[in-house]
Amino acid sequence: MTFAAFGSSRPSQEDRAEKLHLEEARLNQLRQEEDELLKKIQSVTAALSEEESLMDRLNQQEDVLSRLPQRDIYLGLLTASSRNAPAWDIKSRVVYPMDGGTALITFDEDAVAKQILKMKKHIVKLECGHRITVEAQPVQLVVPKQVEMDSVICSRRILVSDLPQMEAESLVDKLGFHFSKKANGGGEVESCWLDKDSGTVVILFSEEGIVDALVLKEFHNIEVHKATHKVRVGPFINGQMSRLEACSRTVLLTGILDVLDQDTLQDILAVHFQKGSNGGGEILQCVYNPVGQCTSAIFTG
């Protein structure tokens, strides 16, 4: 009988080192993949959080617009319906006080006004060989063409509308007292005033955390002359106008000496700045205000 002997050889040190190296490389690759996955998860989580925040703001804005008082909102000389989107096409009327010794010239083209401003100093010839030097400056005037409202809801103010007919001071006192009571969902009132333009009352609380519940309830009963009157509570919006277009065709001339009568000097200025050789062009209007006088120019658009 013949026996065959099979011997088992142990892995060499080089084999073990190579295997260990491969395992370490595999582990490093897994760690890299894990890091990349974590970064993707963080990125997706951040994007989702941003989307949720945006949705919250949109829902809040929608709720604000639905709760605004059923009246027009007065914005200086601009009036727009509160139910519209917060952007209005408007016609502006801006009053610009003029200092003495100045003139306003409106050109037909923006490029001419820019050229006059670029030249800055202008020598204007008068009668009998006399001259005056005037300086062209941009008109620091903002003429709104389209108004948008960047709105932020105030956390301490409410807007009370649908008011009862009563004397203004008594009404303010009544509402301030009513909403100062915790039993009515209110709190300490810092100030309370009537906005006559909008016909609403604004109440400012001393602390935060009061407004949300009052706005959520929306309609509140108050006692007026032994009767119950329902007022409407909405959020107070801090608004800021944006998309304002500056006046670009009008220049301000300063340093005009009082050497001639108003009409004569105004005509001389208009003729000078109409000439292309002086950097000018077609003029739509020229207004001169002599030294020592007060006047205002009205810009409409």
Contact 200, 37 (CB under 8 A): no
Pure H helices in 91-207: 110-119, 168-178
Name the residue with tokens 């030294």: 291
Higher pLDDT, residue 295 or 149: 295
User: Tens of pLDDT along 255-276?
Assistant: 999 888 899 999 999 999 999 9
Mean pLDDT, the chain, whole residue set = 80
- Rounded to a whole number of angstroms, the distance between the first and last alpha carbons of the chain is 120
Contact 235, 154 (CB under 8 A): yes
pTM to 2 decimals?
Answer: 0.42
Quote the pLDDT of residue 295: 79
Quote the pLDDT of residue 197: 73
Quote the pLDDT of residue 258: 87
The closest alpha carbon to 232, from 62, 71, 57, 56, belongs to 71
In the chain, where are the structural domains located? 15-67, 93-145+242-300, 153-237
Quote the pLDDT of residue 150: 56
Enter the CATH code of domain 153-237: 3.30.70.330
Across residues 80-101, what is the average pLDDT? 60
User: Tens of pLDDT along 34-45?
Assistant: 989 899 899 888
